[in-house]
Amino acid sequence: MKKNFIYTVLLLLCSFSFFNAQNADDKKQIIAAVTDILKGFQTHNRDLMNPYVNETYGVGILFKSSGDLGFVLNEDVDFSMPLGYIQKAWNIRNQFPVQFGTAPAYDAENKKWKKEGLFIELNSNIVNEYADAFLEQYPVKDQDIFKINVNSENVVLVTLAENSKENAPVNGFRFIMTKIDAKWFLTFIDVTEYDAE
């Protein structure tokens, strides 16, 4: 009986160690990708961002127009094209250290974040929440880019919550990354805090 208990404990410890190692590797990959993506967006350098766009799935832009959720699928990041209906890109400072955890709420009325920082939310269900929020005539759940985000364990929500001093149309920058074949990719840019109309 004692032997079985000891084997069970050892098996659990080994499983726990493997899980932690996998998490540590994921976090390392995610931080490297987030750094490149934010630097690319900050400097409008698509060459820093596009290695993180999967050639099969592209990158989706989630936005709001007249209160309704909208979606555009692009092959890659191209700064000569608007993000959704937003015509001008905005500036980000990107001066915060990475924090793993839930991002603060966005105050849409005052157009500012309740707390500033760079937040990475692991195991995020955000894409499924957005898919459920689309009007019924837009069956986005059938699109491959939404299907690959069904499992929240493979989804990370990144929020650079910073409040601009220069009346920028959007404060900060928010995007979604998805683990595809053991690599993390930029799958959505989320500009839903700003209503285009």
Residues 6+ apart with CB under 8 A from 157: 103, 120, 121, 124, 126, 174, 176, 190
Interstrand relation of 98-100 and 68-74 (parallel, antiparallel or unpaired) = unpaired
Nearest alpha carbon to residue 60 among 168, 155, 172 = 155
Average pLDDT, the chain: 83
- 106-147 pLDDT tens trace: 887 888 899 999 999 999 999 999 999 988 878 898 999 999
Min mean pLDDT across 22-26, 62-66, 105-109, 166-170 is at 166-170
Does 7 have pLDDT greater than 50? no
pLDDT at 59: 95
Phi, psi of 189 (to 5 degrees): -110, 125
